[in-house]
Amino acid sequence: MGFPDYRPRRLRKHENFRRMIRETRLSVDNLIMPLFVVPGTKITNPVKSMPGIAQLSVDRAVDECRAIRDLGIPAVILFGIPDKKDGAGSGAYSDTGIIQQALRAIKAAVSDLVLITDVCLCEYTDHGHCGPLAKGPDGRTDVDNDRTVALLARAACVYAEAGADAAAPSDMMDGRVGAIRAALDAARRTDVLVVSYAAKYASAFYGPFREAAGSTPSFGDRRGYQMDPANADEALREVAADLAEGADIVMVKPALPFLDIVRRVKDRFGVPVAAYNVSGEYAMLKAAAQNGWLDGDRAMMEVLTSIRRAGADILLTYFAKDAARILGGGRA
Ligand code: PBG
């Protein structure tokens, strides 16, 4: 009597067995929906390269947040597009900034939704870089790291004051997590989380976002502060540094081209890991689906499941509402 034939198909034959042994679960609980907020009222301004996504005025963002909450999605991440930009990105941290207005309105109307704010200056600077510029010791113009960090810490405190539950720095300056944590603590906001874009790569997949947020750098690129896509060990060092500085959740971004990084971060640190399924990942799938080249829903679920399987607890994705409709779980 030999060893029985290996017949794995027996386990795949019946959907009920497939359900019983399914290893990875994607739930609406894992999703965060990004929103773009613009000044004005009654504005829904579709983003061409991101079908289904629009810039919203505060009133529309409030409605959208109600719908998101009703679908059972636990959180949103907010990006602001100001009407005025300047060299130091002051719209990001002034009391009257667009995100601050959005936070107050959404918190008042939809108190049971977690509000995360992207903390970065690139949408607010007239040159589109992630912080004020200065000539370095070598005479070259560059983002002034330490001045940027101080402004980000200020922005995080202003957002907390306006109702943010978490600050998510996406600038990749050195030392910003520690500075934001210290500033929040000094403002007695020890309750506000830091969700760090810890391993954020200089990626071509941010293209559609830059259309949505109007944040394309007017010269140069972000390779002097975002990571080289070829590096993996460096991502682990970035994550270790952010955790040491007090990050509560660490993020890998983009998701699909960096699933190996998601897995290594999860295995190495065992902390809550988020992955950002970015604008370009959304756009390419939507475009293929619109052309009838892919089954959009199936491809979406496969992609989101792969990010979970790689080890992400949390998925920031423009698909959050579409996926929630398929997954169920909300009130709607
Ligand atoms: C801001 C920021 C960016 C994204 C999130 N926060 C753009 C960038 O770094 O150029 C990209 C998100 C996406 O592409 O969906 N610094």
Give 121 Cα–ligand 1 centroid separation in angstroms.
11
CATH numbers and ranges of domains, the chain: 25-327 (3.20.20.70)
Pocket residue to mutate for ligand 1, from 53, 55, 117, 120, most atoms within 8 A of Cβ: 120
Is the pLDDT assigned to residue 168 strictly greater than 70? yes
Closest-CA residue, ligand 1 atom 10, reads 206
Average pLDDT estimate for 254-279:
98
Please list, in sequence order, all residues whose beta carbon lies within 8 angstroms of the beta carbon of residue 290, skipping any fewer than 6 positions away: 51, 296
Q: What does the block give as tokens for 287?
A: 């475009």
Residue 136's pLDDT band (boundaries 50, 70, 90)? confident
Is the pLDDT assigned to residue 171 strictly greater than 60? yes
Give 109 Cα–ligand 1 centroid separation in angstroms.
27
The CA-atom distances, in angstroms, between 255 and each of 42, 73, 98, 276, 305 are 33, 19, 28, 5, 12
Separation of alpha carbons 82 and 215, rounded Å: 11
* Helix H or strand E segment including 19: helix 15-21
Per-residue pLDDT tens over the stretch 184-227: 999 999 999 999 999 999 999 999 999 899 888 989 999 999 99
CA 160, 174, 93, 50 torsion-angle sign: negative
Closest-CA residue, ligand 1 atom 2, reads 170
Residue 1's pLDDT band (boundaries 50, 70, 90)? low
The 8 Å CB, 24+ separation contacts for 38-41 are 38/81, 38/98, 39/81, 39/82, 39/83, 39/98
Short-list 27, 182, 31, 162, CA closest to 106: 162
Is the pLDDT assigned to residue 278 strictly greater than 70? yes
Average pLDDT estimate for 163-183:
97
pLDDT of res. 180: 98
Average pLDDT estimate for 165-188:
97
* Phi, psi dihedrals of residue 211, rounded to the nearest 5°: -70, -45
Separation of alpha carbons 299 and 258, rounded Å: 18
Average pLDDT estimate for 288-301:
98
pLDDT of res. 3: 75
For residue 123, give the ligand 1 atom closest to its CA: 1
Separation of alpha carbons 302 and 308, rounded Å: 10
Short-list 212, 203, 288, 202, CA closest to 50: 212
Task: Find the catalytic residue in 13, 42, 84, 253.
Answer: 253
In percent, the amount of the chain with pLDDT more than 70 equals 98
Task: Find the catalytic residue in 200, 266, 286, 321.
Answer: 200
Please list, in sequence order, all residues whose beta carbon lies within 8 angstroms of the beta carbon of residue 307, skipping any fewer than 6 positions away: 255, 256, 259, 262, 275, 277, 315
Residue 286: active-site member = no
Q: Give the chain's largest Cα–Cα span.
A: 79
Pocket of ligand 1 (CB under 6 A): 118, 120, 122, 130, 170-171, 206, 209-210, 215, 222, 278-279
Average pLDDT estimate for 87-110:
96
Q: What does the block give as tokens for 117?
A: 């704010």
Give 21 Cα–ligand 1 centroid separation in angstroms.
37
Number of H helices, E strands in the chain: 11, 12
Residue 200: active-site member = yes
> Three-class SS of residue 149?
helix
